[in-house]
Structure 1
C-alpha cells in the first residue's frame, strides 16, 4: 500500500515538470539503456580474438587465414552494438518523440522502452562472437577449409542476428510510429 502511494506521488511529481523536459530526460535514459547492448559484442569479440590467438599458437602457419576469419566474425558480432548506437543517436539528436502530441507519460515511457528493447542485442553479440570463435578455431586447425567454414559461420551469424533486428524494429516503432501515443 505504501509503495503504491510512493509510486503515485512520484509520478505526480514527475508530471509536474514541463512535458518536453520529461521526454528529453527519458530519452537520455533510454539512450543509455540502449548502449547496454554493447556488452554482447564485447564478450563475443573477445571470445573470437581469444580463439584466434589460441588457434595461431597451435598452428602458426595458419595465422593469415585464422586472423581473417577472426576479424570478419568479430566485425559481424559488432552489428547489434551498432544498431544500439543508432537508436541511442536517434534519441539524442533526432528524437521524433520530442514533438509528439499525447500523454507525456506514454511518450516518456516510449523513449525509455525504445532504449530498453535494444538490450536484446546482447544475445546476438555473444552468439555471433561464439560462432566467430569456433570458425576461427576450425580454420586454425584446417586452413584449407577457410571458404566453407566462413560461409557456414556467416549463415549462423545471420540467423543469430534476428533478435537484434527484432529489438531494432520495436525501438523504431516506439520512436517513429508509436501506436500508444494515439490511444
Structure 2
C-alpha cells in the first residue's frame, strides 16, 4: 500500500501543475453536471402528473399545464447552478493562476464539482412538488393560484441544499481556504 501511495505521489509531483489542475477541473466539470439528474427526474415526474391531470379533467388541462411549466422551471435551477460551476471550471478557472500545491488546487476543483451533485435532491423534490401541484390543479382548477403559491413556497425551501452546494463550490474555486 505504501508503494502505491509513493507511486501516486511521485506521479503528482512530476506532473505539470497546470495539467494537473486543468485535468482535475475537467473531471469536476463532468461531475458537477451530475446534478442534472435531479431536474431531469423531477421535470419528468411533473410532466407525467400534468398529463395525468389533463387526462382526468380535460377542462383543467390548461391550468395544470401552466402549473407544470412553472414548477419545472423552478426544478431546473439546481441544474443551472451546476452548469455555471462547470463553465467556470472549464473557461475561467481561478485556480489555474493561483499559487499553491497543484494537488490541493486540483482537489479543490474536484471538490467543487462533487459539491454540485447535491443539486440532485432539489431537482427531484421540486419536480415532485410541480407534479403534485399539476395533479391538484387538474382536479380543482379554481384553486390554481393557491396551489401555485403553496407549490412555489415548497420549492423555494427545497432549493436550499442546491444553494448550499453552489456556495461551497464557489468558495472552493474563488476563496480557497487552504491557502
TM-score normalised by the shorter chain: which range applies? Answer: over 0.9
After TM superposition, give the deviation of residue 157 of structure 1 in Å.
Answer: 0.2
Superposition pairs of residues 4-43 of structure 1, within 5 angstroms: 4-43=2-41
1:107 corresponds to which residue? Answer: 105
Q: What is the aligned partner in structure 1 of residue 93 from structure 2?
A: 95
Whole-angstrom distance in 2 between the partners of 1:71 and 1:176: 34
- Please list, as runs of the form range in 1=range in 2, the aligned pairs for 1:43-82 lying within 5 A after superposition: 43-82=41-80
Gaps of 5+ in 1: none
How big is the shift at 1:158? Answer: 0.2
Q: Does 1:148 align with 2:146?
A: yes
Instruction: Name 2:135's counterpart in structure 1.
Output: 137
Query: For residues 123 and 11 of structure 1, what CA distance do their matches in structure 2 show?
Result: 35
Give the conservation status (yes or no) of the 8 Å contact 1:15–1:22. no
Q: Structure 1 CA distance, aligned partners of 2:32 and 2:152?
A: 25
Gaps of 5+ in 2: none
TM superposition shift of 1:11: 2.9
How far off is 1:171 after superposition? 0.2
Superposition TM-score, scaled by structure 1 size: 0.96
Moved more, 150-159 or 14-23: 14-23
> Runs ≥4 in structure 1, deviation > 4 angstroms?
none
1:123 aligns with one of 105, 121, 125: 121
TM-score, scaled relative to structure 2 = 0.98
After TM superposition, give the deviation of residue 34 of structure 1 in Å.
0.2
